[in-house]
Amino acid sequence: MRKWLYSLVAVPFLLVGCGDEPEVETLDTAEVPSIIDVHIQTAEQLNTGETIQLAARVTQDEEAVNDAKEVKFEVWESGLRDEGEMLDGELTEDGIYVADYTFDHDGVYYMFAHTTARGMHVMPKQELIVGNPDMSKVLEDTSSDSMEHDEEQDEEKEEEHNH
C-alpha cells in the first residue's frame, strides 16, 4: 500500500519535471553585438593657422553608425594633456562626425576620438604633426591610450591638494 501511495505522489512531480523548460539565454546562445569601429580621418600632417576638420568615421559591421550617443575629440599638445581641449563632434553623413579646430602654433599634438555608441565606448588615438615643429623642443607625451591612467593622475592630484 505504501508503494502505491508513493507512486501517486511521485508521478505528478515527474510529469511537472518533464514539461517544456523555458528557453534560457546563455553565453553560448546570446548574440554578442559587433564592435564599434572608429577610423580617424584627420590627416596626420597639418598646417598651422588653418581651420581643419577633426573627423572620425564610426561603423559597425561596415555599416555607418549615424546614431552615436557621443563623439568628442580631445586634442592636446604633446606633454600637455592637462591643457587639452574637448570638442563635440557633429554628424555630417555616413557615420562621419566632425569638429572644426585651428592649431595656432607648430607642434606635435595628439587626438582621441572618444566615441560612445550602441552601449560601447571606443577611443582611438592619433598623433598630429602641425607645421614644422622643432623636435628637440617637443615635450614627451606620457599619456596612455586609455582613460585609466588619467583618472589615477587626477586622484593623485586631488590627494596632494587635500593634504
The predicted-structure confidence for 131-156, as pLDDT tens digits, reads as follows 999 999 999 988 777 554 344 444 44
Predicted pLDDT of residue 144: 75
Q: What is the pLDDT of residues 93-133, one digit of tens each?
A: 999 999 999 999 999 999 999 999 999 999 999 999 999 99
More confident residue, 11 or 46: 46
Q: Is the pLDDT of residue 9 over 90?
A: no
Predicted pLDDT of residue 142: 82
Cα distances from 161 to residues 79, 143, 150, 154, 155, in angstroms, run 22, 21, 16, 10, 10
pLDDT tier at 4 (50, 70, 90 boundaries)?
A: low
